[in-house]
């Protein structure tokens, strides 16, 4: 396995594990996020955080930026990606 693939695998694993490591007490806390581009709402909880962190890794974005701090174009890019990866 190449060093790049190994690094990408590590970052993806980290992105998926991070919510479990950082939300022990925050498990029941969530907010409702509006997706104005697809005219729906999403419950931003541990599951949505996993999707967001995966998007951050796949699109090589800053892993420390909260979704609510993204500009409108970045939020739209997230929701477009998210709807393409929705398994509900």
Q: How confident is the model at residue 30 (pLDDT cuts 50, 70, 90)?
A: confident
pLDDT per residue as tens digits for the range 32-84: 888 888 888 889 999 999 999 999 999 999 989 999 999 999 999 999 999 99
Q: What's the rounded Cα separation, in Å, for the pair 10 and 52?
A: 16
Mean pLDDT across 3-17: 73
- Residue 28 has a pLDDT of 60
Q: What's the rounded Cα separation, in Å, for the pair 63 and 54?
A: 10
Ranges of each domain in the chain: 3-84
């Amino acid at each position: 396995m190449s060093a790049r693939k190994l690094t990408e695998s590590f970052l993806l694993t980290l992105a998926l594990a991070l919510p479990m490591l950082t939300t022990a007490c925050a498990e029941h806390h969530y907010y409702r996020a509006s997706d104005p581009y697809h005219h729906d709402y999403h419950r931003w909880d541990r599951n949505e955080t996993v999707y967001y962190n995966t998007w951050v890794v796949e699109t090589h974005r800053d892993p420390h930026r909260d979704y609510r701090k993204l500009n409108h174009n970045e939020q739209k890019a997230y929701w477009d990606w998210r709807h393409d990866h929705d398994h509900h």
